[in-house]
Amino acid sequence: MNFNSFSFRIRYAETDQMGVVYHGNYAKYLEIGRVEWLRALGITYRSMEEGGIMLPVIFLQINYKKSAKYDDLITVETVLKKTPSVKIEFDYKIYNESRELLADANTVLAFMDMSTGKPIKCPDYILEKLS
Distance CA 3, CA 69 (A): 25
Q: Does 31 bind its own copies (CB under 8 A)?
A: yes
Please list, in sequence order, all residues whose beta carbon lies within 8 angstroms of the beta carbon of residue 29, skipping any fewer than 6 positions away. 74, 76, 94
- Min dist. Cβ of residue 131 to its own copies (A): 26
For its own copies, the binding residue among 5, 40, 43, 70 (CB under 8 A) is 70
Q: Please confirm, yes or no, whether 16 is among the known catalytic residues.
A: yes
For its own copies, the binding residue among 5, 40, 43, 64 (CB under 8 A) is 64
Q: Does 71 bind its own copies (CB under 8 A)?
A: yes
Q: Does 61 bind its own copies (CB under 8 A)?
A: yes
- Min dist. Cβ of residue 62 to its own copies (A): 5
Catalytic residues: 16
